[in-house]
Structure 1
Amino acid sequence: MAEYKVVTQKPAGVTFDLADGSYSLERLALDPIGAEIVEIDAQSEDEFIAEAKDADGLIARGRPITRKIIESLENCKVISLGSVGADTVDVVAATEHGIPVTNVPDTFIEEVADHTMMLLLASFRRLNVMDAMVKDGRWSEGRPLLSEFPRLWGQTLGFISFGHVAKATSVRAKAFGVNMISFDPYIEELSMTEYGVEPISTLEELLQRSDIVSMHAPSTQEVHHLMSEDQFRAMKPTALFINNGRGPTVDEKALIKALEEGWIAGAGLDVFEQEPPDPENPLLHMENVISTPHVASASQRMAPETRRRVGQELSLVLTGRWPRTCVNPAVLADAGLKRWQPYSMGRGPGSG
């Protein structure tokens, strides 16, 4: 009989299949402690609860881990996410029940930072328009169009939230000679200035000053539709908006209106409010929008490394130790776990 029972919903996404379609990577850390992974092909929440109520740990994959599920758990010590965002888990309910929720905020930072710069540069230099001109035989139209725009050097890049990805992006952006500012009330100012980024005290000031706004806020209720009509109206009409974070942080109707009415000049998007987006979504048919299918974190390394980390975090907590990262670290003091890290804990979305 296994020492620990770890339950997960049978996954339906491609990420699992990309990393071999089995649990071999999670088991690298779980097999040595006698933990068994039980995959449930539950068709309903009640069916999942019936199988998971005695679990020692959950892998949050395949279905939302709701308050109802959390309140049914009789022995759960940890819920482990293979993502940065924790919006698929009711973290408030988990905290109330003293259950640590772990995530992987540092597994694919470099990939997302690269993607942010890609969208920034492609949007700023109107790459999709230039590409279409070449393919349509409009060779001579490109230079006159780009001659209407300033060079990137000296422009102001504003980060909304200054966590791991924004920091990595700032390192890349510095080489392009941009001025950088950031609004994040949860990050110490010194954490920004050491990256050459000026702290800004209000979102409105950041929006008014930025030539490019890069959204990195996590998807929480607090920042739901953080960017709405008033915020887009505050931006320069020549400004670009980049979102590699989470779709729900942006009021998509307001973004569409801002682009259609010229409140802003363009957008680069890896995320949408509804995914996949409706084929009739106006954002998919605008010349001044460059979009990608929520792939910023994807690389050869990403899927396998993420799944190894899920297993490692489960193993740490199940054997009585602090996880490497925790979305709700306040529960750790009363969880009876031993702190072992000689470094500061990563605290999930937006953490420094």
Structure 2
Amino acid sequence: MAKFRVVTPAGASFTVAGGGYALESEALTPLGAEIVEAPTDEAGFIAAAKNADAIYAKGIRMSKQIIDSLENCKVITLGSVGVDSVDVKAATVRGIPVTNIPDTFIEEVADHAMALLLAGFRRVVVQDRMARDGRWAEGRPALLKIPRLAGQTLGFISFGRVARAVARRAAPFGLRMVAYDPFIEETLLSEYGVLPATLSEVLSQSDFVSMHAPARPEVHQMLGEQHFRQMKPSAIFINTGRGTTVDEEAMIKALQEGWIAHAALDVLYKEPPSHNNPLLSMDNVTLSAHVASASARFDEARKRRVGYELSLVLSGLWPMSCVNPSVLQNTNLRRWQPIGLDRGPNS
């Protein structure tokens, strides 16, 4: 019989090929922990997870009802950056740490954000269609209306890990950079060659507005009609964060009426979008299907990190990435410091 029981919804995963939990189990098996799949409906999951030692949350909404039903849970672990699928407040009240993976695929998302910036700016999708449709002569005149990239302003809304990685990529292109993030010290911004700005300044000054705010209640539909009206008519809006941070109807109106020139989006308010979403048929929109974090490394690195986070807490140690760290002060978990690949955490 396993010493620890980790419960996870059945069949819900980002796995590209294959399945199973071999990668997560690399850190869990030595502890005598096993991952057990449970039904994905709320009632079935509650019944299966009631006595779980830990929850590997994927493909299910971890509601207050589910969290309140957990009698022995030591940690809820996510294999993603976003934690909007978990009622973190309910978990905090119950004293359950919630962990995520905020740093495993930062480089991929930053690459994708930069790709969307360049594709939107140089109208790559439209240029591709012109070349394929025999409209060869239309390509050059269309781009003659677009200024040189160097000297343009890139504005960040939120300046977390991804935005910082984008800033490193953008600097060699000669972009001036500004950022709005009331939770970041100005000295950190200056390390990346980025100037601090208010939200209004970012919107009104930027030729590119890159949205990086996380999916949290306080930033739900953070950008609305009044914000898109502040942007330049030539501006390009980029979103590799979360679709719910934007009032999508207002953004569509901005694109249709020319308040902004283009949107380059990896995320939408509803995913996948309905077939009649206007964004799908607009020439001034570049889309990808919430794939910014994907790479050959993505799945293995994510799943190993999940296993490691679970193993730390089940071993009585603090996790690496806790989104509600206040709960750790009231647990018996011990602090640790990484001291080398050959030894692992030290209490």
**1:83–1:104 contact (8 Å) kept in structure 2:** yes
**Superposition CA RMSD, Å:** 1.1
How far has the Cα of 1:219 moved from its partner? 0.4
> Could you tell me which residue of structure 1 aligns to residue 8 of structure 2?
8
Alignment partner for residue 75 of structure 1, among 40, 57, 72? 72
> Could you tell me which residue of structure 1 aligns to residue 29 of structure 2?
31
How far has the Cα of 1:233 moved from its partner? 0.6
> Could you tell me which residue of structure 1 aligns to residue 203 of structure 2?
207
How far has the Cα of 1:19 moved from its partner? 5.3
Cα distance change on mapping 1:166 and 1:127 into 2, 3 Å: same
> Could you tell me which residue of structure 2 aligns to residue 140 of structure 1?
137
Alignment partner for residue 20 of structure 2, among 22, 34, 40? 22
> Could you tell me which residue of structure 1 aligns to residue 344 of structure 2?
none
**1:122–1:128 contact (8 Å) kept in structure 2:** yes
> Could you tell me which residue of structure 2 aligns to residue 190 of structure 1?
187
Q: How does 1:306-321 map to 2 (within 5 A)?
A: 306-321=302-317
Q: Which amino acid aligns with 1:220?
A: R
Gaps of 5+ in 1: 344-352
**1:324–1:341 contact (8 Å) kept in structure 2:** no
How far has the Cα of 1:99 moved from its partner? 0.7
Bigger mean CA offset, 183-192 vs 249-258: 183-192
How far has the Cα of 1:136 moved from its partner? 1.3
**1:26–1:307 contact (8 Å) kept in structure 2:** yes
C-alpha distance after superposition, 1:101-151 (max 9, x if no partner):
100110100100000000000000011111111111111211111111111
Distance 1:301 1:119 in 2: 21
**1:19–1:304 contact (8 Å) kept in structure 2:** no
**1:159–1:182 contact (8 Å) kept in structure 2:** yes
Distance 1:126 1:168 in 2: 23
Distance 1:19 1:34 in 2: 26
How far has the Cα of 1:333 moved from its partner? 1.2
Alignment partner for residue 228 of structure 2, among 217, 225, 232? 232
Alignment partner for residue 125 of structure 2, among 125, 128, 150? 128
**2:157–2:179 contact (8 Å) kept in structure 1:** yes
Q: Does 1:109 align with 2:103?
A: no
How far has the Cα of 1:307 moved from its partner? 0.6
Q: Which amino acid aligns with 1:88?
A: S
Q: How does 1:160-171 map to 2 (within 5 A)?
A: 160-171=157-168
Distance 2:12 2:323 in 1: 24
State the secondary structure of the residue aligned to 2:30: helix
Distance 1:317 1:184 in 2: 32
Q: Which amino acid aligns with 2:20?
A: S
**1:182–1:206 contact (8 Å) kept in structure 2:** yes
> Could you tell me which residue of structure 1 aligns to residue 345 of structure 2?
none
Distance 1:187 1:333 in 2: 24
State the secondary structure of the residue aligned to 1:226: coil
Distance 1:67 1:341 in 2: 33
C-alpha distance after superposition, 1:293-322 (max 9, x if no partner):
110000000011101100100000111111
Distance 1:188 1:338 in 2: 30
Q: Which amino acid aligns with 2:227?
A: Q
Identity of matched residues, %: 61
C-alpha distance after superposition, 1:180-232 (max 9, x if no partner):
111111112112110111111x2111101111000011001100001110110
TM-score, structure 2 length as denominator? Answer: 0.96
**2:208–2:236 contact (8 Å) kept in structure 1:** yes
TM-score, structure 1 length as denominator? Answer: 0.94
Distance 1:300 1:22 in 2: 17
Distance 1:98 1:162 in 2: 29
Superposition misfits of 4+ residues, deviation over 2 angstroms: none
Gaps of 5+ in 2: 340-347
**1:11–1:61 contact (8 Å) kept in structure 2:** no
Distance 1:103 1:188 in 2: 24
**1:322–1:339 contact (8 Å) kept in structure 2:** yes
Distance 1:81 1:12 in 2: 12
Q: Which has the higher contact order (CA 8 A, sep 6+)?
A: 1
Q: Which amino acid aligns with 2:274?
A: D
How far has the Cα of 1:342 moved from its partner? 5.9
Q: Does 1:41 align with 2:58?
A: no
